[in-house]
Structure 1
Amino acid sequence: MFDRTQWFLAGMSIALSLQLSQPVAAAVPVGKVVQTAQTNSSEAAEKALKEAAQLYNQGTAEAKRGTIVKLEEALKLYREAGDRRREAVTFSNIGLVYSGLGEKQKALEYYSQSLPLSRATGDRGGEAITLNNIGSVYSELGEKQKALEYFSQSLPLRRAVGDRRGEAVTLTNIATVYSGLGEKQKALEYYSQSLPLFQATGDRGGEAVTLTSIGSVYSELGEKQKALEYYSQSLPLRRAVGDRSGEAVTLTNIGTVYSGLGEKQKALEYYSQSLPLFQATGYRGGEATTLNNIGSVYSALGEKQKALEYYSQSLPLRRATGDRRGEAVTLTSIGSVYSELGEKQKALEY
């Protein structure tokens, strides 16, 4: 029987935090009207960017939509001011928000506008961030080799500019790709390089992501108790830093471990905690996975109609986020239910 429970791995989409540029403090010579206009545009852009960061940190889907509006405002102002470096950063940030909302193709559009600007202005740190984020999108779209290409371009730039936290981010992302390719030991090697870097730089959010990812690897290796140990270290860190979507990821992964151990009611308890968090933060990919997993539990419990209800909620979200592999998982799950209900022709359709 096809395993209808899909793992939700946490490490694939570690991207940059919303980047705030430092305000430019420059003397404006008397009579330089153009320069004054540029300065005013820069100041207005910085104000819009700070407002965007405040909205983004709220974590809700509505707030993220508001973040995009503010970032677009900042983008226009930076362009007017001729500030190409900050324009590049803002393009990348808009891509980040769209990626978090599940709109991966739109994210790639903005990243592809950021990258040449970063290169043109010699901003290797910004270039490294954008390369990493493009890799994250391709990883989530299932294009693992393409993801590795971008991560492998990002990593030496991270090291060259001394960005240890960024280096940890990219190492974790590479590890997650290898995990997705089935190379679990290679994945653990990269995670073992990234975890101490996150700890050394005090990045508890990145540490939490990596702990969850390590837990996922151990779970897939069949070491369920070891997986729970790592998840239990990650969960309080997620909560401490206010990472609600990350908390949801870890809760879903814990639920999936319990489901695999046959503790279906306990699994439902964790899924019921994660689902509203995904919905509140607008993380539709996570919502789709959790809905699918709840359907799998109900199917295993013999509640086939209830299972179909959850699968039917998951399927349009899979399609909306471009998760073709996830869509295939849910279609197969629906087909399995119909097969078990004796509706063989309907099963074959799915």
Structure 2
Amino acid sequence: MFDRAQWVLAGMSIALSVQLSQPVAAVVPVGKVVQTAQTNSSEAAQKVYEEAEKLYQQGTAEALRGAIVKLEEALKLYREAGDRGGEATTLMGIGNVYSSLGEKQKALEYYSQSLSLRRAVGDRSGEAVTLTNIGQAYSEVGEKQKALEYFSQSLPLFRAVGSRGGEAAALNNIGLVYSDLGEKQKALEYYSQSLPLRRAVGDRSGEAVTLTNLGNVY
């Protein structure tokens, strides 16, 4: 079997990047004190998150465990700040680290929490990526129908937000599941839809993966 490097967010980073908060003014009106404290908490959370990402990139089991500790710290700070977007990203990040450690059920727990928040704040792009990560986890534990369900949910969301790269990845991932299920013709249909999108966005690495997947089916 070929190396399956085609998954979205396959080890590239812990999760989607967190947007930095706006700088705090030098003089803050009394009515803005709570808001300032929340902004400071978000900024502190961002710094801790970045420390976690550096540990994650080291890839050792010890570093990954350290990343979880840092991410849990960031999660607490985001919650204190009332930053639900940062909270959702961090939950997904924790899930990704557990996935890297092979603890797929733990990963799914955190992904599910992240997904609820993504939907609550209307982050459709983040929702699509989280659905993809859930699909990947289910695929890796052998629950192919579940994986197909989540990848299929991500596809219209990537299209809705205009992410052609995400759409191409979703089509490719759906094709992979159909291939694993033995439905080779269905796999070819989805790979064939993914390929022109990979080329259109200039994703040569993704194009190579999809070509490999097509060759593998043939």
TM-score by length of 1: 0.50
Distance 1:248 1:12, change over 3 A: closer
Distance 1:177 1:273, change over 3 A: farther
Secondary structure at 1:13 match in 2: coil
Structure 1 partner of 2:2 = 2
Distance 1:178 1:272, change over 3 A: same
- In percent, how many aligned pairs have the same letter? 66
Q: Is the 8 A contact 1:12 1:176 kept in 2?
A: no
Secondary structure at 1:11 match in 2: coil
Q: Which of 292, 314, 332 lines up with 2:194 in the alignment?
A: 314
User: Rg bigger for which structure?
Assistant: 1
Equivalent residues in 2 for 1:7-22, closer than 5 Å: 7-9=7-9, 11-16=15-20
How far apart, CA to CA, are the structure 2 residues paired with 1:178 and 1:317? 33
Structure 1 partner of 2:43 = 166
**Per-residue deviation, residues 97-128 of structure 1 (Å, max 9, x unmatched):** xxxxxxxxxxxxxxxxxxxxxxxxxxxx49xx
Q: Which of 150, 156, 174 lines up with 1:294 in the alignment?
A: 174
How far apart, CA to CA, are the structure 1 residues paired with 2:211 and 2:51? 29
Cα displacement (A) at 1:211: 0.6
Q: Which of 111, 123, 129 lines up with 1:243 in the alignment?
A: 123
How far apart, CA to CA, are the structure 2 residues paired with 1:322 and 1:182? 28
Distance 1:265 1:288, change over 3 A: same
**Per-residue deviation, residues 196-255 of structure 1 (Å, max 9, x unmatched):** 121110111111111112112212221111011111211111111111111111111111
Unaligned runs of 5+ in 2: 25-38
Q: Is the 8 A contact 2:16 2:89 kept in 1?
A: no
**Per-residue deviation, residues 167-200 of structure 1 (Å, max 9, x unmatched):** 4235435534653553433432432332112111
How far apart, CA to CA, are the structure 2 residues paired with 1:179 and 1:321? 28
How far apart, CA to CA, are the structure 1 residues paired with 2:131 and 2:201? 21
The two structures, once aligned, show a CA RMSD in angstroms of 2.6
How many residues are aligned here?
197
Structure 2 partner of 1:234 = 114
How far apart, CA to CA, are the structure 2 residues paired with 1:318 and 1:297? 19
Q: Which of 238, 255, 272 lines up with 2:135 in the alignment?
A: 255
Distance 1:331 1:188, change over 3 A: farther
Q: Is the 8 A contact 2:15 2:96 kept in 1?
A: no
Q: Which of 91, 98, 104 lines up with 1:224 in the alignment?
A: 104
**Per-residue deviation, residues 140-163 of structure 1 (Å, max 9, x unmatched):** xxxxxxxxxxxxxxxxxxxxxx74
Secondary structure at 1:194 match in 2: helix
Q: Is the 8 A contact 1:254 1:267 kept in 2?
A: yes
Q: Which of 275, 292, 298 lines up with 2:155 in the alignment?
A: 275
TM-score by length of 2: 0.77
How far apart, CA to CA, are the structure 2 residues paired with 1:317 and 1:177? 32
Structure 2 partner of 1:201 = 81
